[in-house]
Structure 1
Amino acid sequence: MRDGYERLLAGLTLSGALEEGWLGAFERAPRPVFVPESVWAPDAAIPTGYRRVSRVVEPETWWALVDADEVIVTQLDDGAHDGPGVPTSCASKPSQVATMLRRLDVVDGARVLDIGTGTGWTSALLAARLGRESVTTVEVDANVAAEAADRVKAAGLVPERVVVGDGLAGWPKGAPYDHIHSTAAVRRVPRTWIAQTRPGATIVTPWGTPYANTGLLRLVRGEPGAPSYGRFVDNVSFMWMRAQRPHEVTLPPVPPDRLGPSAIAPDLALSNVDAAFTIGLHVPDACYVHTWDRITLSDGNGSWASVRYETWDAPDAVRQWGTRRLWDEIALARTWWESRDRPSLTRFGLTVTPRGRQKTWLDEPKNLVGRPRFPAE
């Protein structure tokens, strides 16, 4: 192993993210082997916000990216060559990879469905820890899947199956699984994942709302006909499952039908990850964008709001339109969070009913938070 990767593993071990049971897998499946020769580095001087970094042309920059405990963008705009520069595939942050694998609580012989193959690194880590015959990995992008298959083959850590398909559908031919591990964020846990796991299985996935994509969910599959319960165990950030990406914020060409002052400073709605997560639970369909002077929100169904940062308590600071008063809902959710002694996101949990309805709660399942969602019973 290179010195940079050894230092990375030492740091992950010292922080507690990487436990002893997974250290050998990280040594047998080193991250650099799975990072593409060309990646995308943030660059504010470029219109898309990213510039291509080649291992051949800029080896020092490439290695600095690979040896850091940071996300590396490996694809923009689903592979299109003329897109706006939106990251759509990546090599995940090593500390978050280690944390998620630790949360699976695997034992020898466990069978895992890995959702979101990406570079192939996490599926290779699972194969190194559990054996290739225990791992099935699914990737929606055929080109990404093909490149990942080449890398895991070269490393001698090929999973039993590398499947091109929609991760939300899982892979029923390999069911039942003991664990499902997803590196793509979901807004709702697919019923297929629960159907394809055995009772007591763990499902570890990034989970969020369009307002705050920040939770790591560890869900335990219930008995047949019974609910499944889980808790948000950490703060993470991953790209969305493609089919569950939030809507874009657009403003209709109509004037607002309500003007007024804001009940809170706009910065308070996003200044704290726990507050933002809580707001997202209360207003699960709200998306926002920033401009230099205001925050703008929409719900994807015609309602929108816009709030000025300066003089936010002035009579015309808040502009709203539609059947909902989105900013009023945001302000009320922030006030609710304050009134409950500012709970961290790890105090929240999720219930998935046998019919697929999601219910979020604080501390215990009877203390429901927000609106039950997806689908209606």
Structure 2
Amino acid sequence: MDRLIDDLSPSLDIMDVIKKAIRAVPRHQFIPPVGLITPGKDSTAYLINRDADPHTWWDVVYSDTAVVTQLHDGTVPLREATGGYTSSSSQPSTVADLLNLLDPDPGQRVLEIGTGTGWTSALLCHLVGEHGEVTSIEVDRAVAEQAANNIAAAGARPNLILGDGALGYPGRAPYDRVHVTCGIRTVPYAWIQQCRPGAVIVLPYSPNFNSNFVLRLVVLPNGTAIGHFPSLASYMMMRSQRSVEPCAARGPEEKHHLTTQVDPRTIAYAPAGADLVISTLTGLDSSTSDEPDEDGEAFRMWVSDPNDPNSWAVAIWRPGAVEHKVYQVGDRPLWDEVLEAYFRWVSWGRPNRERFGMTVTPEGQEIWLDSPDRIVGSHAGLQDELVNA
């Protein structure tokens, strides 16, 4: 436990009250006997098994490591480790960071979106109280049942709801805090509606173009919410907001072989501020790979429309190339859109992540630069230029 607490500092300025909660609610009570560890793209995922190798299991549980607890919504056993991670016990330093930003006080009503293993529900109960202050919603029945068992064994008493977290839970509103444990591309306005003025909402904002963000919103008396992106974090997506999987071209007319003079690594390795602008202006997802192929060294960057499986592109860098190949499926000029958004960010002086914010209204959400009247884009339509840029 001491090592786990040490991992939270000094890189993060975690409040003592959060550290005390983590000490008071042992993480091992919420980790299943078998879990999956995913060290990173350059390492192979591996299982931890409390019965077969208790030393490794305990060592991982009390390190700053996420533990995957479900694959493909429970349809694939963990031992197959095929990707498709759909539930986990999040990295403790990230949990502590989000709770730190949430800054809950005793007696406040908290709505949690995504019960998961139940650890953060129990932490919230320790922070605000055990008399019905915490309401936690989980969409997956099997996950919810296991979380309820974990929470009961730990002696915590949140209100546990099986349902769609995007709808919130008006039965216990108004809330002072909303704690979200799944990736969100579009902030549900129901959460703002169910909060009192001054309430704080902390969520993983996940546009999924290279970087994902922590968003901290404050609810205003006029029924809107406004906030900034204080840090970075990646979480598994809310089920109703997952991207579709790209598909192969349906015919020759959908295949386009193009070129670009821009090194794809320029976009892939751009700062988080650029990622935020590109995702806002294009709405696209991205992923990368640097594995060599039969033609030698290569770096690939994929971009795709999260709502259209037949619209995607890949740009390929190879050493010494003057122009780089782009293969596109569908008629939408995805790579051109990405480049236009990137160079627009450059023309604005390469603003960093901290200068951006979001406003959420009944009509949708807007991303802005420096002040809410300098709108970069929104769900309803993108701006040609920043106001007064």
TM-score (norm 2): 0.86
Give the corresponding residue for 2:276: 277
Give the corresponding residue for 2:385: none
Give the corresponding residue for 1:143: 142
Give the corresponding residue for 1:363: 370
Output aligned runs, 1:204-353, within 5 Å.
Answer: 204-212=202-210, 214-224=212-222, 226-255=223-252, 259-274=257-272, 275-288=274-287, 290=289, 292=291, 293=298, 294-299=300-305, 300-301=307-308, 302-310=310-318, 317-353=325-361
Specify the SS of the correspondent of 2:160.
strand
Distance 2:258 2:367 in 1: 31
Deviations 1:72-126 (A, max 9, x none): 1111111112684311111111111111111112222111001111111101001
Q: How many residues are paired up? A: 366
The alignment's C-alpha RMSD in Å is 2.6
Distance 1:286 1:11 in 2: 31
On the 8 A contact 1:186/1:244 being kept in 2, the answer is: yes
On the 8 A contact 2:302/2:312 being kept in 1, the answer is: yes
On the 8 A contact 1:206/1:217 being kept in 2, the answer is: yes
Change (3 A) 1:312 1:276: farther
Specify the SS of the correspondent of 1:113.
strand
Output aligned runs, 1:34-49, within 5 Å.
Answer: 34-42=30-38
Distance 1:154 1:375 in 2: 49
Give the corresponding residue for 2:294: none
Specify the SS of the correspondent of 2:208.
coil
Worse-matched range after superposition: 280-289 or 171-180: 280-289
Specify the SS of the correspondent of 1:264.
coil
Change (3 A) 1:309 1:59: same
Worse-matched range after superposition: 345-354 or 134-143: 345-354
Deviations 1:259-279 (A, max 9, x none): 443142111212145133332
Specify the SS of the correspondent of 2:112.
strand
By how many angstroms is 1:290 displaced? 4.1
By how many angstroms is 1:16 displaced? 3.5
On the 8 A contact 1:17/1:98 being kept in 2, the answer is: no
Distance 2:369 2:190 in 1: 26
Deviations 1:150-186 (A, max 9, x none): 1111111121x11111111111111110110001010
Gaps of 5+ in 1: none
Distance 2:192 2:320 in 1: 45
On the 8 A contact 2:317/2:324 being kept in 1, the answer is: no
Amino acid paired to 1:343: P
On the 8 A contact 2:268/2:301 being kept in 1, the answer is: no
Give the corresponding residue for 1:164: 162
On the 8 A contact 1:348/1:362 being kept in 2, the answer is: yes
Worse-matched range after superposition: 293-302 or 242-251: 293-302
1:30 aligns with 2:26: yes
Worse-matched range after superposition: 319-328 or 241-250: 319-328
Give the corresponding residue for 2:97: 99
Change (3 A) 1:44 1:167: closer
Specify the SS of the correspondent of 2:207.
coil
By how many angstroms is 1:322 displaced? 3.6
Change (3 A) 1:43 1:115: closer
Amino acid paired to 1:36: P
Deviations 1:276-309 (A, max 9, x none): 3332122213444647443333324343323221
Worse-matched range after superposition: 235-244 or 288-297: 288-297
Amino acid paired to 2:151: V
Deviations 1:182-235 (A, max 9, x none): 0101001101111111112111000121324511111111224x4321111111
Give the corresponding residue for 1:178: 176
Amino acid paired to 1:270: A
1:52 to 47, 52, 55: 47
Worse-matched range after superposition: 343-352 or 304-313: 304-313
By how many angstroms is 1:348 displaced? 1.2
Give the corresponding residue for 2:4: 8
Amino acid paired to 1:318: V
Distance 1:120 1:127 in 2: 11
Change (3 A) 1:267 1:32: same
By how many angstroms is 1:350 displaced? 0.7
Deviations 1:3-23 (A, max 9, x none): xx1122133243344211222
By how many angstroms is 1:32 displaced? 1.7
1:75 to 48, 57, 70: 70
Specify the SS of the correspondent of 1:204.
strand
Amino acid paired to 1:73: V
Specify the SS of the correspondent of 1:57.
coil
Worse-matched range after superposition: 332-341 or 249-258: 249-258
Amino acid paired to 1:64: D
Worse-matched range after superposition: 28-37 or 200-209: 28-37
On the 8 A contact 1:13/1:19 being kept in 2, the answer is: no
Distance 1:306 1:212 in 2: 14
Specify the SS of the correspondent of 1:173.
helix
TM-score (norm 1): 0.89
